[in-house]
Amino acid sequence: MDAFRQWAFDRRDPTHSQRVYDWWSRHDRVYAAFVTAFLLGRTGELRDRTIAALSLAPGDTVLDVGCGPGSNFERLADAVGPTGTVVGVDASPGMVERARARGEQFDCNIDVVRADTERLPVANERVDGVCATLSLSAMGDTETVVAGLSDVSRPGGRIAVLDVRSFQTAPLRWLNPLIEGVSAAVTNWYPDAPIMQTVDETFAAVSSETFHGGTVYVVTGSKLD
Ligand SMILES: C[S@@+](CC[C@H](N)C(=O)[O-])C[C@H]1O[C@@H](n2cnc3c(N)ncnc32)[C@H](O)[C@@H]1O
């Protein structure tokens, strides 16, 4: 099983990521079912918590990083209202197409840009909030990505990350080689991405909550004024 996991880990890179997420973008029901399974049926509640932690106000600009098919757009549009702006960034052309179509359904400026999060197409100190749901763990270089998210945040702006990590304790931990290998192959997952630690080192007033025995977490913080 360790050999399988290593085989899958060795295949992770931006090209693999775009290939798998373009596939997911064409199978949105399977994608929704996969996310529901990953979050053990609490998807809506966990997205609500994440977006509430951003404390967005009408007129704000919020960045949805690795926005996928626009799964957060309805909630984000509700939070910033018709005078606010949601900027979705994703590297997968298929996901960008889906997200643009979904964005048209809401009464809010929703701008979806195809870009790699390591080179964000957003001016420094531009956004009031950064939302990252199930996306940072699919990106290779956590430190570079989180530093970029801090750069584009205005002083006082908030970040909220919802993500998933491997089982923390036995006996479920024994399943990790299988789950990590399958997830790396089908989602470009980096289970060891130091997301909580990097948010803690980069942002201020960081707090986190964990769910499902520590496998799911929401970590939030603010950029120093
Ligand atoms: C598991 S999906 C999560 C989508 C969405 N945030 C959600 O909650 O359903 C991960 C997304 O991150 C995107 N992604 C992965 N690496 C990326 C990168 N380096 N830059 C931009 N987007 C990336 C993928 O294309 C994919 O749409």
- In this model, does residue 211 exceed pLDDT 90? yes
Q: Are strands 61-65 and 85-90 parallel, antiparallel or unpaired?
A: parallel
51-79 confidence digits (pLDDT tens): 999 999 999 999 999 999 999 999 999 99
pLDDT digits (tens, 9 = 90+) for 131-176: 999 999 999 899 999 999 999 999 999 999 999 999 988 888 899 9
- Which domains, and CATH codes, for the chain? 16-164+185-206+217-222 (3.40.50.150)
- Give ligand 1 pocket residues (Cβ under 6 A): 17, 21, 35, 66-68, 71, 89-92, 95, 116-118, 133-135, 138-139, 187
Q: ∠ CA(65), CA(188), CA(76), 5° rounding? A: 20
Closest-lying ligand 1 atom to the alpha carbon of residue 95: 27
Region for residue 40 given its phi and psi (left: phi exceeds 0; alpha: psi -120 to 50; beta: otherwise) = left
Residues 48, 209: Cα–Cα separation, whole Å: 13
